[in-house]
Amino acid sequence: MRTTSPRAVAHSSRRWEQADHPYAGDTAVLATKHEKLPLIAPPLERAVGLLVEAVAVDTDVLGTFTGDVPRQGPPLDTAIAKARLGMNAAGRALGVASEGSIGPDPAMPLVHSDREIVVLVDDRHGIVVWESHSSWDIVARSTSAGPDEDLGPFLSQAHFPEHQLIVRPNCGAVHPIHKGISALDHLAAAVAECAAAATDGLARIETDLRAHACPSRRAVIARAAERLATRVATRCPACGAPGWGRVDVILGVPCAWCGTEVARPRTEIDGCVACEHRQTRPVVSAEVRADPGECPYCNP
């Protein structure tokens, strides 16, 4: 694997000076096992003329939604590692990958959220560009049931069969596990088999969150890919590198009554992935004051 030190990048910023987008006509590989190409390739091709081709690699070694392989590390690191799996397999210096995190929303534990990260790794220039999109419009249901239970209400909440299901024993045994279930007879057989294997006589039935099995997740990946494409198309005003955009948010809008800074975005900072250039951009004008209802002193 080639690596480029930050110093080397800073000294060679001239490479970005061309008028055409640096990735126009170039090809990146997408490491995917689950049919993400139609979600991720079109926006990048439209935005900058970057072609994306899929390379079939087993990204499950980096962790799975079904929990067979535990995930390690932050999602961004996993996405970058996935991209490099594909780059190594195809022998290319440009790679794309996505990684999703689905679970109870930290702010609203009863609601599931899906955060999808899409990265572009460029080992030729030593940069990584990434974007994410979060959504509550994710179907992620689970229940436990015995072999003869009426699953009708659950199946409609779970948007079955458009959204596929996974069935496993509810307690005790880890196997058998049935994935990608999209037919009622398969579901009934899986529930019977898994319930029989469980110590409590129940099967665990849950949404199959793999991208090809979960249309509501595919929509979030597509949105994240569009954001990545916009970001890749946006070039640093100082050095011309792709990937210019928001890198930080500064909170702190003064309370209208007491002046204490309330944790609301005041300024966003745009930055470059290749050089040190930064620009601040006010989110609200300097005169704006926060509602005392949000203030920790006026409304504790």
By the 8 A CB rule, do 85 and 93 touch? Answer: no
129 forms part of the interface with Zn ion (CB under 5 A): no
Region of 35-43, 51-59, 131-139, 292-300 interacting with Zn ion (CB under 5 A): 292-300
8 A C-beta contact, residue 230 and residue 47: yes
Min separation Cβ 231 and Zn ion, Å: 13
**Under the criterion CB under 5 A, does residue 89 sit at the interface with Zn ion?**
no
Give every CB contact of residue 36 below 8 A, 6+ residues apart in sequence: 30, 54, 98, 211, 218, 221
CB 152 within 8 A of CB 158: no
Other beta carbons within 10 Å of 283? 15
- Work out which of 12, 257, 261, 268 binds Zn ion, going by CB under 5 A: 257
Q: Does 108 engage in binding with Zn ion (CB under 5 A)?
A: no
Q: Applying CB under 5 A, does 212 fall inside the site for Zn ion? A: no
SS3 content of the chain, % helix, strand, coil (to 5): 30, 30, 40
Q: Does 273 bind Zn ion (CB under 5 A)?
A: no
Question: Residue 19 CB, nearest distance to Zn ion (Å)?
Answer: 16
Nearest to Zn ion of 19, 110 (CB atom): 19
Looking at 57, 83, 241, 253, which residue binds Zn ion (CB under 5 A)?
A: 241
CB of 9 or CB of 205, closer to Zn ion: 9
**Closest Cα partner for 102 from 208, 179, 178, 209?**
209
Backbone angles phi, psi at 280, to 5 degrees: -95, 150
Give the count of residues interacting with Zn ion (CB under 5 A).
16
In the complex with Zn ion, the residue whose CB is nearer, 15 or 186, is: 15
- The residue ranges that bind Zn ion (CB under 5 A) are 236, 238-239, 241, 255, 257-258, 260, 272, 274-275, 277, 292, 295, 297-298
